[in-house]
Amino acid sequence: MLAAELRLHDVRVLVVEKETEPPSAVRIVGLHIRSLELMAMRGLLERILPHGRRRPASAYFAAIPKPAPTGLDPRYAYLLGIPQPVIERLLEVHAVELGAQVRRGRAVAAVEQDGDWVTVELADGERLRSRFLVGCDGGRSTVRKLLGVGFPGEPARTESLMGEMAVGVPPEEIAVRVAEIRETHQRFWLRPAGVGVYSVLVPAAGVSDRAEPPTLDDFKRQLRAVAGTDFGVHSPRWLSRFGDAMRLADSYRVGRVLLAGDAAHIHPPIGGQGLNLGVQDAVNLGWKLAAQVRGWAPEALLDTYQAERRPVAEDVLDNTRAQAQLLSTEPGAQAVRRLLIELMDFDEVNLHLLQKITAIGIRYDFGDGPDLLGRRLPDIDVKHGHLYGLLHRGRGLLLDRTERLTVGGWSDRVDHLADSTAALDAPGVLLRPDGHVAWIGDDQRDLDHHLTRWFGRPVH
C-alpha cells in the first residue's frame, strides 16, 4: 500500500521481501469501513470486492452481536472477509502497475544512515542506497531492532491455535455443540470455511514447543479439552498459532528510517484491526514521505506521521485490551460483558464502539476548529459522482461550495472542485491526500495559509 502511495507521486520505490513465496496460512482478515473507504479513494475497491465476502457491520466489538448502528453509509457499511494472501497480492499488483519494483527472497540484514542517504545491506551482501527506508517488516521487525527503537508492552500470556481442516462429524452436530461451548468460551470456534473445510480456533494452553508449528495432534488434544470431542478433525490445510502480546514502538522515525504496520505495533487479532491499522499508516505516511522526497514538504510534515498515527495505535491497543477482558470466562468479566450488551442498545454507544474498531471515528489534532476538522470526510455526493472518485491520484482536494476560491500556486499538488451543490455542511474544505479535513472556511487568505501549512510553498 505504501509503495503504491509513493508511486502516485512518482517516487522511485523498491520493496524487498525476505520470503520467496507468499505465506501459505490463508487466514481470512476482515477489512473494516475505513480501509474499504481508502480502497475506494484509490479506485481499488471494485477490484477487491469480488475476492471477498461481505459480512454485516455488527459483532465487531468483543464479538458482541448487535445490529449495525443507524446512519452508516450503506456503500461501506460491512466487513469484507478476504484471505490475507489475496489482499496482499492485489496490493502488490496495484503497486507494480504503478511502477514499484518488488524483489522477493531478499532480506534486510543491516542499515546505516549518513547525511542524505540510507544504506541497506541485504543478507546476500548486496548493498542498496536510498533516500529513505520504511520498515514494514512485521512484529519481529529487523529494521526496528537495527534502529534500537524500544518496543515496550505486555508479553504474550495466552496463545491460541488456529487452522483449517476437515471434520468427521455432521455439520448439525457441530453447530449445536459449538453454540453450547461459545456461551462461555469466546476464544473458541469451529466454523465452515469452504466446502468440507472448517476454520478452528482453540486456546493453545501449554501445547508443544512455541518455536515449532503446531501439529494436528495439538489441535485434537485442545479440542477434546474444551469441547469433550475432537470432532474427528483431519487433513489440515494449514495450522498456526498466535499470542496476545501487545507492544508499541517508542518511535516511528529515526532520521531517514521509518516504521509502519506491525513493525510499529502488535496486538492480538480481537476485532481484526492489525492489517487495517497498517494500511491506514501507509496512507497517512505515503504522501508525506513523497513530499519530502520531491522537495515540497513543509518543515515537520513528516513528523506528523508519528504524531497522528502513534496515538491511533495506542487507542487500538487499548480497545483490544478491553475486548480481551470482555472475552474472559471470569464471572466478573462476564458480568461487565452483560452490562455492555445492555448499554449497546443505545445507538450512540453502539456507534462509538463501531467507530473505534472501523477507524471512522479518528480525529487528528489539527488545532482548534469545528468538529469536522481533522476527521475523514465521508464519500459525499458531488457534481457528477462521489467525492472518493476524485481522490484516486492521491492529491489534495479543495472542495469549494462558494465557487470563488482557488488553489493558485498549489495546483500541481492540489485539485479544485467548485461545486455549490456538494452535500457538505461547510462553504469550503481542504482535504489532504488521505481524505482528512485540513481546513474549513471561505476566506482565501486563510486557505492559502493552510495550503502552505500542508502542501508547502506555492509555485509561482
Ligand X SMILES: Cc1cc2nc3c(=O)[nH]c(=O)nc-3n(C[C@H](O)[C@H](O)[C@H](O)COP(=O)(O)OP(=O)(O)OC[C@H]3O[C@@H](n4cnc5c(N)ncnc54)[C@H](O)[C@@H]3O)c2cc1C
Answer for which of 14, 26, 27, 409 binds ligand X (CB under 6 A) is 27
- Closest to ligand X by CB, 214 or 261: 261
- Closest to ligand X by CB, 77 or 277: 277
Minimum distance between the CB of residue 1 and ligand X, rounded to whole angstroms? Answer: 9
Rounded distance between C-alpha atoms, residue 11 and residue 14, angstroms: 10
- Closest to ligand X by CB, 144 or 395: 144
Q: x/- contact string, 386-425, with ligand X (CB under 6 A)?
A: ----------------------------------------
Rounded distance between C-alpha atoms, residue 308 and residue 359, angstroms: 13
Contact region with ligand X (CB under 6 A), list: 22-30, 213-221, 307-315, 370-378: 22-30
Rounded distance between C-alpha atoms, residue 261 and residue 256, angstroms: 17
CB 184 within 8 A of CB 329: yes
- Closest to ligand X by CB, 142 or 304: 142
Contact region with ligand X (CB under 6 A), list: 26-34, 61-69, 174-182, 321-329: 26-34
Beta bridge partners of residue 437, listed in sequence order: 431
Minimum distance between the CB of residue 18 and ligand X, rounded to whole angstroms? Answer: 4
Residues 45-84 that bind ligand X (CB under 6 A): 84
- Closest to ligand X by CB, 108 or 344: 108
Rounded distance between C-alpha atoms, residue 104 and residue 282, angstroms: 20
Rounded distance between C-alpha atoms, residue 326 and residue 63, angstroms: 9
- Closest to ligand X by CB, 29 or 246: 29
- Closest to ligand X by CB, 105 or 255: 105
Contact region with ligand X (CB under 6 A), list: 17-25, 306-314, 401-409, 433-441: 17-25
Rounded distance between C-alpha atoms, residue 187 and residue 176, angstroms: 17
Answer for which of 4, 95, 136, 438 binds ligand X (CB under 6 A) is 136
Neighbours of 157 (CB within 10 A): 11
Rounded distance between C-alpha atoms, residue 16 and residue 13, angstroms: 10
Q: x/- contact string, 267-296, with ligand X (CB under 6 A)?
A: --x--xxxxx-x------------------
Nearest to 153 by CA among 241, 242, 249, 243: 249
Answer for which of 5, 17, 400, 434 binds ligand X (CB under 6 A) is 17
Question: CA dihedral defined by 54, 55, 57, 62, rounded to 10 degrees?
Answer: -140
298 binds ligand X (CB under 6 A): no
Question: Which run of H or of E encompasses 24?
Answer: none
Distances (CA, A) of 400 to 11, 51, 391, 431, 453: 29, 36, 15, 11, 19
162 binds ligand X (CB under 6 A): yes
99 binds ligand X (CB under 6 A): no
16 binds ligand X (CB under 6 A): yes
Number of residues that bind ligand X (CB under 6 A): 25
Minimum distance between the CB of residue 210 and ligand X, rounded to whole angstroms? Answer: 14
> Three-state DSSP class for 395?
coil
Residue partners of 238: CB distance under 8 A and separation at least 6 = 24, 25, 26, 163, 164
Minimum distance between the CB of residue 276 and ligand X, rounded to whole angstroms? Answer: 4
All three cell numbers of 455: 502542501
164 binds ligand X (CB under 6 A): no
All three cell numbers of 380: 459525499
CB 165 within 8 A of CB 216: yes
37 binds ligand X (CB under 6 A): no
Residues 106-135 that bind ligand X (CB under 6 A): 107-108
CB 130 within 8 A of CB 120: yes
207 binds ligand X (CB under 6 A): no
Nearest to 278 by CA among 15, 16, 34: 34
Minimum distance between the CB of residue 33 and ligand X, rounded to whole angstroms? Answer: 12
248 binds ligand X (CB under 6 A): no
- Which residue intervals of 206-330 are DSSP H helices? 216-227, 274-294, 303-326
- Closest to ligand X by CB, 19 or 446: 19
All three cell numbers of 111: 542499515
Answer for which of 29, 57, 359, 438 binds ligand X (CB under 6 A) is 29
CB 253 within 8 A of CB 266: no
Minimum distance between the CB of residue 449 and ligand X, rounded to whole angstroms? Answer: 36
Question: CA dihedral defined by 81, 87, 88, 92, rounded to 10 degrees?
Answer: -170
- Closest to ligand X by CB, 276 or 323: 276
Minimum distance between the CB of residue 271 and ligand X, rounded to whole angstroms? Answer: 8
43 binds ligand X (CB under 6 A): no
Nearest to 63 by CA among 268, 289, 369: 268
Answer for which of 43, 85, 99, 138 binds ligand X (CB under 6 A) is 138
Q: Which residues of the chain form contacts with ligand X (CB under 6 A)?
A: 16-19, 27, 29-30, 84, 107-108, 136-138, 142, 162, 242, 261-262, 269, 272-276, 278
